[in-house]
Amino acid sequence: MKYDVEIELKNKKEEYSFGAVAKQANGAAWLKSGNTVILATVVIDETEIVKDDFLPLTVQYIEKSYAAGKIPGGFFKRETKPSDFETLTSRIVDRSLRPLFPKGFGYPTQITIMVLSADKEADLQVLALNAASAALYISDIDINTSVSAIRAAKVDGKLILNPTMSELSNSTLDLYLSGTAEDLLMIEMRTFGSEEISTNEMFIDPILDPAMGMNIITSHVSNAMPEEELIEVFQKTEELLFATNTQYENAFAPYKKKTLSIEYKAHILNEELVSYIQEHHVADIKLAVNHMAKSERSTALRQLRKKIITENIDWIEIELKDAIETVKREQVRAQILNERVRADGRSLTQIRPISIVTNVLPSAHASCLFTRGETQALVVLTMGGPKDAQMFENLTDDGTQNENFMVHYNFPGFSVGEASPIMGTKRRELGHGNLAKRALEPILDLDGQTIRLVSEILESNGSSSMATVCGGYMALKAADVNTSDVIAGIAMGMVSQGDKYAILSDIMGLEDHDGDMDFKVTGSKNGITAMQMDIKLGGISLDILKEALYQAKEGRAHIIDIMIESETKIEFNDGVLPSIDLFHIDPSFIGEIIGQAGKTIREIIEKFEVAIDIDKKDGKVKVTGKNKKGVAAARQHIEGITNTPKAAKIKYEVGDKHEGTVKKIVDFGAFVELPDGTDGLLHISKISNERFDKISDVLKEGQKITVEILEFKGSKISLGRV
């Protein structure tokens, strides 16, 4: 492959070929970086124009299994439905490129990104956006702006821009920025533990496998990033982002195709109708905006439109609708900018009333009904073991991985008053669930557990994803799950005109629709765990971003105080909530707990109806059961074994003589318990020099005898009678 452009970037090199493949597309870019090859194409349908006020853009990011030398797993040996990673990557590219299209562009447009060869160290999400932007930039569509992405990581306190995947896996920060040479357009951010600790754990499963085996337990440390530290990272990353886009535009300009001559959607605002509404019906619109709930407002504006049409039958209803919407938007924004009062009467920083009720579902392990204003999320938690984890495999993984913490977000039509059927999971639902997961994951150390949170949105008027974060945290506490911090989420917005701007805390749907920014921030009182931002006005300055972050921190603290108070009122679903207890014992006592051939530990499992995991290295014991009473009794029993005086370990050597107790007689001899509780085998041939018909003729269970240590066979001791 001949490459037209070679660009040296921070910590990597990208090579582009234009015009060699996919020549019938409106634009195509073949990108190579390391051993990664991506083909991005752009195609528009010029035969049809969508008249609605909507950009009909579809982005599909597709990973081919052959790119990593794999054949698809499962019954069907070809790629089928997109993975979560593919869907989330498509969404990131869409959100970054959608603002570039000219107003009135109504042609169905398809951007396809195919990963043809994959390098394990490559950042496929960054390369996907860069390739798609290159294809769009050199296409014959009238777009002359480059958009690219930069990822930032922090390893051992050091900032790394454009990190490898190995570096990212050891990072405390994952920050994804996209933008142009002048403006920051989108942010995706999360924090996670800088160090994963793996231990070999001995486990006993009384149902599937009564024998002992080994399991790997991993844990991580939570890490919320302070606002001032994050702002510093933004500044350095943004500088590189702007400079990189300038490089792209200079390099790609010679390969840009001649611009198509196409018709744009005619969207002409009828100024006569706007003037009429401003003169005669501003009071009606103010009433609908300021004194009505979301559903009532929509009904009132629709009735106003019908009334005006009835009185002026020659007017076109769609034009009247646009006029009313224009006046409504002007009123909402002017009131915020000039009066510093929002449509529902709140100040710019005021949070809507919050209600929290936990464990409303008696048969679920835990649940929380979180209501903030007219947004309501029912978050339900289910606990499981390692076998309940979600298996998945990324393109460059060597094998399958397990996802032990899942957040599934559902947004039914009735939550916004729509009569629509519930279908499969949409991109938005997947994205919101992923945001909530990234927000809560840093505070969890699951230690082999599996937790699934399901958020059912019952009502929505402003940031149901942040309600999911808050309700998700409360559901964790309602299940008595240990967390390292309290996490809440808040949606921020902004209205601006010229030099004037207003930052809004806890935005409702009206402010999201008529505002200039949707900015979601999650974290504790001390820092941020996850963030997502989309800019609608073409960019945002770091000064305004900094102000928004600190205002979000204040709002988050207010919500956290309410959540902490609600924690004190939690009543657990003891009848159905599984219980887990973690404690430590001296590792030298593990033999007594397990017993001969695992007999003792199986008896504990059966008696108290629990599962027991024991780490042989450090003596960590995890007891899991269906109720707290059984788990507590099992712990007490285990600690009773380790606390008995005979449990003091003795170092035995061949030739030592000790008094022991005949514990059990079997066909081939007897098991004798030595002074420290260890069992040894007294073979039938070593019991006596005299003839006997039955062992019971010369030995009785409970009898004290003197034995000699003859031999060690692994962990088994062979004895002879003295």
| pLDDT tops 90 at residue 208 | no
CA distance 426 to 420: 13
CATH 3.30.230.70 fits 354-567, yes or no: yes
Question: 3-class DSSP state for residue 399?
Answer: coil
Tokens of 317: 């209803």
CB atoms within 10 A of CB 652: 16
Question: pLDDT-derived band of residue 273, with 50, 70 and 90 as boundaries?
Answer: confident
Question: pLDDT-derived band of residue 392, with 50, 70 and 90 as boundaries?
Answer: confident
| pLDDT tops 80 at residue 53 | no
Q: Which CATH number fits domain 271-339: 1.10.730, 3.40.50, 1.10.10, 2.60.40?
A: 1.10.10
Residue located via tokens 């924004």: 333
Residue 537: per-residue pLDDT: 57
Location of each CATH 1.10.10 domain in the chain: 271-339
Residue 543: per-residue pLDDT: 86
CA distance 389 to 401: 9
Give the homologous superfamily in CATH for domain 657-721.
Nucleic acid-binding proteins (2.40.50.140)
DSSP collapsed to 3 states, 677-707: CCEEEEEHHHCCCCCCCCHHHCCCCCCEEEE
Location of each CATH 3.30.230.70 domain in the chain: 5-153+170-180+218-255, 354-567
CA distance 445 to 430: 23
Residue 683: per-residue pLDDT: 87
Question: pLDDT-derived band of residue 193, with 50, 70 and 90 as boundaries?
Answer: low
Opening angle at CA 270, ends 265 and 276, nearest 5 = 160
pLDDT, average across residues 162-180: 94
Residue 698: per-residue pLDDT: 86
Q: Which CATH number fits domain 579-647: 3.40.50.150, 3.30.1370.10, 3.30.300.130, 3.40.50.720?
A: 3.30.1370.10
430-487 pLDDT, tens digit each: 999 999 999 999 999 887 789 999 999 999 998 899 999 999 999 999 999 989 999 9
Residue 715: per-residue pLDDT: 63
| pLDDT tops 90 at residue 245 | yes
Question: pLDDT-derived band of residue 647, with 50, 70 and 90 as boundaries?
Answer: very low
pLDDT, average across residues 221-243: 88
Residue 469: per-residue pLDDT: 97
The full DSSP string for 218-264 is EEE---PBPHHHHHHHHHHHHHHHHHHHHHHHHHHGGGPPPPP--PP
Cβ atoms of 656 and 704 within 8 Å: the answer is: no
Question: pLDDT-derived band of residue 241, with 50, 70 and 90 as boundaries?
Answer: very high
Please choose, from the candidates 563, 594, 418, 597, the residue with its C-alpha nearest in 3D space to the C-alpha of residue 476: 563
Residue 692: per-residue pLDDT: 82
What is the chain's mean pLDDT, rounded? 87
548-557 pLDDT, tens digit each: 999 999 999 9
Residue 212: per-residue pLDDT: 33
In single-letter form, the type of residue at position 345 comes to: G
CA distance 520 to 507: 10
CA distance 679 to 218: 34
Q: What are phi and psi of 267, to 5 degrees?
A: -125, 85
CA distance 145 to 178: 13
Considering 206-215, 270-279, 453-462, the range whose residues carry the highest mean pLDDT is: 453-462
Location of each CATH 2.40.50.140 domain in the chain: 657-721
User: What is the 3-state composition of the chain as percent helix, strand, coil, each rounded to the nearest 5?
Assistant: 35, 30, 35
Cross-strand bridge partners of residue 721: 707
On the CB side of 12, CA atoms within 13 Å amount to 23
CA 527 to chain centre: 18
Residue 593: per-residue pLDDT: 87
| pLDDT tops 50 at residue 218 | no
144-156 pLDDT, tens digit each: 999 999 999 999 9
CA distance 671 to 597: 12
CA distance 560 to 548: 18
pLDDT, average across residues 339-350: 92
Higher-scoring residue by pLDDT: 669, 367: 367
Residue 76: per-residue pLDDT: 83
Higher-scoring residue by pLDDT: 348, 536: 348
Residue 538: per-residue pLDDT: 61
Higher-scoring residue by pLDDT: 481, 399: 481
Q: What is the pTM of this model?
A: 0.80
Location of each CATH 3.30.1370.10 domain in the chain: 579-647
Residue 560: per-residue pLDDT: 97
State percent of the chain over pLDDT 70: 93
pLDDT, average across residues 366-374: 96
Listed range (99-103, 349-353, 534-538, 689-693) with the worst mean pLDDT: 534-538
Residue 214: per-residue pLDDT: 34
Please choose, from the candidates 430, 478, 480, the residue with its C-alpha nearest in 3D space to the C-alpha of residue 455: 430
Q: What are phi and psi of 334, to 5 degrees?
A: -65, -40
Residue 205: per-residue pLDDT: 38
Please choose, from the candidates 512, 709, 714, 518, the residue with its C-alpha nearest in 3D space to the C-alpha of residue 597: 714
Q: Which CATH number fits domain 5-153+170-180+218-255: 3.30.420.10, 3.30.499.10, 3.30.230.70, 3.40.50.620?
A: 3.30.230.70
pLDDT, average across residues 702-718: 84
